[in-house]
Amino acid sequence: MYQTAIAQEERRINQERMSGCAVELMELVEAVAADLSVSAEWPKFEFGPLVVGELAKRDLEEEDIVLGIVAHGLGAWGCLPERDVEDNELALQQGGSLVSRYYSRTGRVFWVRTEWDRSATTVFCPLES
């Protein structure tokens, strides 16, 4: 119970550090997760503040970003080679960066990456896809 209170306080502090847009995005992600009847294990790990890169803001619809974040938080790593999936599963247990690769509804490749220390999660597009 004590750890839950600490986690909630850390989440509150992280949300205060985020810009209004990022807070709104996190609320939207949580609402989508709730609407999808996602299990109590969502997210499987702490996100830290959510950051959306400039190309992702320009090239992706908000719905694609939100669904990518929800899938990432579920441990549905998207279109990755098996080795990268194994690395993510190991990182969940032992610590390490988590990376997912998805396609938007228009076919644009984008990535979601959570830092090894769970200090931030970033949605970004490669310069060329």
Is 28 within a domain?
Answer: yes
Structural domain boundaries, residue 24: 2-124
Share of the chain above pLDDT 70, in %: 66
Is 55 within a domain?
Answer: yes
Partners of 122 in the β-ladder: 51, 113
Reported confidence tier of residue 121, pLDDT bands at 50, 70, 90: very high
Cα separation, 75 vs 63, in Å, equals 18
pTM score of the predicted model: 0.71
Domains in the chain, number: 1
Is 129 within a domain?
Answer: no
pLDDT tens readout for residues 70-80: 889 988 898 89
Is 86 within a domain?
Answer: yes
Who's near 74: CB < 8 A, 6+ residues apart?
38, 42, 43, 44
pLDDT of residue 22: 45
pLDDT tens readout for residues 8-63: 555 554 444 434 444 455 565 666 666 655 555 668 888 899 999 999 999 999 98
